[in-house]
Structure 1
Amino acid sequence: MTQCVKTRIDILRHGLPEGHGCLRGHTDFPITESGLVQMHTAVKGLNDIEQIITSPLLRCSDFAYMFAQKFALPCHHFAHWKEMDFGEWDGQSHDSLWQQHGASLEQYWQNPWLSTPHGGEALKDFDLRIEQAWKHLLDNFLGQNILLVTHAGVMKQLMRILLEMPESTSYLHRIDLPYAARYRVTVATDDSGMHWPQIQWPTEQQY
């Protein structure tokens, strides 16, 4: 009989950071006090975490290290879990971007797989980066309960990869992940090393 190893990953988006109205990307805006409260509320009752993995950007890592210190847990930051790099657009306000790059911006959001007008990270490269980050996580933390603190763009891209969704923009517009949103992925790994992930929305009853 095949024995499966179970890995559980709770994936948490950062709370409200500074830089309201900006395309944050790699720009390292700090988390606000309200954002920290949102994140603490989102993980309330999550008492069996064994490892914490975080994006190194402050809006994620400040909470991750705080949570790790509270429960005396190891905390690892990996650059692969950063948000997408928007190059020349990164950190600019949405209003300014529309005024300066309206046509390019509209064309880009219609299908970001086709071009990278901001000179930053191509969506195909971002997608590959998240796929590699996921593989690294499972290779190194198999069988553990993990809290992964990251970004909305990362969470959507990971969902695309896990659900084997086509390379289109529809998932970007149809998935709403508010600040401190959390979903869970439970991965069963069989004797052959095959991973069987399932996306779940945790409820209080699970604790």
Structure 2
Amino acid sequence: MPHKLITTLDLMRHGEPVGGRKYRGQQDDPLSEKGWAQMCQAVGDHCPWQAIVSSPLLRCADFARELAARHGLPLDMDDRLVELGFGAWEGRTADELTAEDPEVLVRFRRDPVAHAPPGAEPLARFRGRILEAWNTLLERHRGKQVLVIAHAGVIRMMVAQVLGIPLPYIFRLQVPSAGITRLRVESDGDDLFPQLLFHAGIL
């Protein structure tokens, strides 16, 4: 009987970027001082990982490089882990959008597939590239514990894949700044059994 392997993916959202809360998407703002502090506090001095994989956007990559250098860990930048592109909403706040159309965010939250921002990356296409990145993570880091530093949308999509959440419902998942979501994948030959683990901090 094949030996079961456990792959642990700790998905960490970046901290607060310069400019605060907005539909940032692929706009490449760096971390604010508060954002750096949030991520440092979330990780502390723990280092249970064998590798770090990061989105190349500054709000993820800068901290990933610092953490990898501090602990001597291999670091991969994966372009597929960039945030969902929000099209015409890029760089705009919720208040700015609702000032123009009070119902625009209500429609989006009810059905982000049917009411996507103008010019936004389609959610189905976004799901496709995130699933490609997910499969690569499981292939390259089988049996290891890996820290993945990415964005709320990326984390939502990976959790949705594990739990079978339909695309229109993914924005019901709230991902806090510098929050960490742990996914555990048991592999028994070609059979994979992914699970979402709830926890407080890195153990």
Judge same fold: TM > 0.5, yes or no.
yes
Corresponding residue for residue 199 of structure 1: 196
Amino acid paired to 1:159? V
Whole-angstrom CA distance in 1 between matches of 2:21 and 2:158: 24
Amino acid paired to 1:172? F
* Bigger Cα displacement from structure 2, 96-105 vs 37-46: 96-105
Within 5 Å, which residues of 2 pair with 1:71-86? Answer: 71-86=71-86
Give, in angstroms, the shift of residue 45 of structure 1.
4.7
* Bigger Cα displacement from structure 2, 86-95 vs 62-71: 86-95
What percentage of aligned pairs have identical amino acids?
33
Give, in angstroms, the shift of residue 111 of structure 1.
0.5
Whole-angstrom CA distance in 1 between matches of 2:186 and 2:56: 28
Corresponding residue for residue 175 of structure 2: 177
Runs of 4+ in structure 1 displaced over 3 angstroms? 100-106
Corresponding residue for residue 141 of structure 1: 141
Whole-angstrom CA distance in 1 between matches of 2:182 and 2:74: 20
1:12–1:183 contact (8 Å) kept in structure 2: yes
Amino acid paired to 2:180? R
Whole-angstrom CA distance in 1 between matches of 2:200 and 2:10: 12
Whole-angstrom CA distance in 2 between matches of 1:75 and 1:81: 14
Corresponding residue for residue 6 of structure 1: 6
Whole-angstrom CA distance in 1 between matches of 2:30 and 2:187: 37
Question: What TM-score comes out, normalization by structure 2 length?
Answer: 0.91
CA-atom RMSD in angstroms: 1.8
Unmatched segments (≥5 aa) in structure 1: none
Corresponding residue for residue 57 of structure 1: 57
Q: How many residues align?
A: 203
Whole-angstrom CA distance in 2 between matches of 1:45 and 1:78: 25
Corresponding residue for residue 46 of structure 1: 46
Secondary structure of the structure 1 residue equivalent to 2:168: coil
Secondary structure of the structure 1 residue equivalent to 2:112: coil
Whole-angstrom CA distance in 1 between matches of 2:187 and 2:88: 41
1:36–1:63 contact (8 Å) kept in structure 2: yes
2:12–2:179 contact (8 Å) kept in structure 1: yes
Corresponding residue for residue 26 of structure 2: 26
Whole-angstrom CA distance in 2 between matches of 1:203 and 1:112: 30
Closer, same or farther: CA 39–101 of 1 in aligned 2, 3 Å? same
Unmatched segments (≥5 aa) in structure 2: none
Give, in angstroms, the shift of residue 100 of structure 1.
3.3
* Bigger Cα displacement from structure 2, 57-66 vs 117-126: 117-126
Whether 1:132 and 2:132 are equivalent positions in the alignment is yes
